[in-house]
Amino acid sequence: MSRCSRMDETVLKKMVSRNVAVTLGIICIVLVAGLGVALAFYASIVSDKDNAIASKDNQIASLNLQNSELYDSLAESESAVRHLNESIADWESIDRMQITIVFGWLGWSWIKF
């Protein structure tokens, strides 16, 4: 081969190498830009999910508070019912004694309660 053809071949290899390097550089830039867009989009989705989770946590806390208040109200109601049942039992006992006394005065002591 002649010296000229070797130089042409070397120049051609350098140009091909330079074209490949530029093309790979452009591909890398496009990939990095795409990765940046993907990360920004993902960050937006994560932020939305974090907000949804915070909202659900607040709702759970509110429902737990409401549940606690309802249990307290139920305990108060049960206590009131017990008190009323005791009062009813006391009044029934008093009524029986009064009826027994009246029947005793009337001479109807044979009737028992």
Per-residue model confidence as pLDDT tens digits over 13-72: 666 687 888 999 999 999 999 999 999 999 999 999 999 999 999 999 999 999 999 999
Asked, for residue 79, whether it belongs to a domain, the answer is yes
Asked, for residue 105, whether it belongs to a domain, the answer is no
pLDDT category of residue 97 using cuts at 50, 70 and 90: confident
Asked, for residue 26, whether it belongs to a domain, the answer is yes
Q: Are 113 and 99 in contact (CB under 8 A)?
A: yes
Asked, for residue 113, whether it belongs to a domain, the answer is no
- What is the count of structural domains for the chain? 1
Which of the 8 DSSP states describes residue 17? H
Asked, for residue 89, whether it belongs to a domain, the answer is no
Asked, for residue 4, whether it belongs to a domain, the answer is yes
Asked, for residue 5, whether it belongs to a domain, the answer is yes
State which residues form the domain around 77.
1-84
Residue 103: partners with Cβ closer than 8 Å, 6 or more residues away: 109, 111
pLDDT category of residue 3 using cuts at 50, 70 and 90: low
CB-neighbour burial class of residue 5 (10 A; exposed 0-12, middle 13-18, buried 19+): exposed
